Copies of this chain bind each other. A is one copy, B any other.
Amino acid sequence: MAPADGSVDPIGAVGAVRVRRGRSAEGRAEVRRELVAAAVRLFAGQGYDDTTVDDIAAAAGVGRRTFFRYFRSKEDAISPDHDTALARVAEVFDSAHPTEPAIHLALRAGETVFDLYTDDPELSVQRFRLTHDVPVLRDRESASVDRYRRMFTRYLRARLADDPDGELRAAVIGAAVVAAHNLELRRWLAGGADAGEIDACRERFHRIAAMLPIEPGEPGGELAAVTQRLEAAVGRLEQTGR
């Protein structure tokens, strides 16, 4: 897997204790932050296409070649650290109890991805605007999101392997959970990433549980799920005033 900080593997740094070598005393993390800050600032100020890697490197006070030692590409400079979040999601699935309902597990896994954006809300909002405006960045974001969907679907497929239409249900649940997560995340970011509204977004995210296909295979689980669905349906009927 890629290193947790998302940097390109420097051969000698693999598995090494954080020992600082080279001329820079502040460490790699500091240089990386400066590059990200410069990239975000320049992209927002003069446009993505009109900003060259030379511009970013010069603004951060490093050479152009060094930029590519920290990021695989120009687009990478503003990408969140999806590798870390993907690893967290995998950890949730791998350490889950075998009898935990798939939908509950999927929601727990989706929860962990929120943290990737809530750690630095301002940066997340800037990234959100850029990925919303620049087509090539939006495409890149789509590809990243699809990696989450594939991971969710793959784990769910293994869990639902014995169920009728298990593969289809895994695809539906995986896609729905990722879509709902993104919907609420983007709503939160579009609203300015107010820290007080995070919980409301998480709550709305959890509402998809009532919209997902119930799972057979557990003692009593089906009836409880049917009841849950019926109650949710009745709640909607009551809200529509019929």
Contact = CB atoms under 8 A, between A and B. Distances in A.
Contacts of A53: none
Interface stretch (A14-22, A54-62, A88-96, A232-240): A232-240
Q: What DSSP secondary structure best describes chain A's contact surface?
A: helix
Contact of A168 (B138, B180, B237): B180
Which of the four size classes fits the interface of chain A? 35 or more
A226 B230 contact: yes
A229 interface: yes
A182 B167 CA distance: 12
Contact of A139 (B143, B149, B229, B233): B143
Interface string A205-242: 00110111110110000100110011001011101101
Kindly report how many copies of this chain are found in the complex they form together. 2
A164 interface: yes
A129 B164 CA distance: 28
Contact of A233 (B180, B214, B233): B214
B180 A178 contact: no
Interface string A136-160: 0011101101100100010000000
From A138, A140, A146, residue with most partner B Cβ within 10 Å? A146
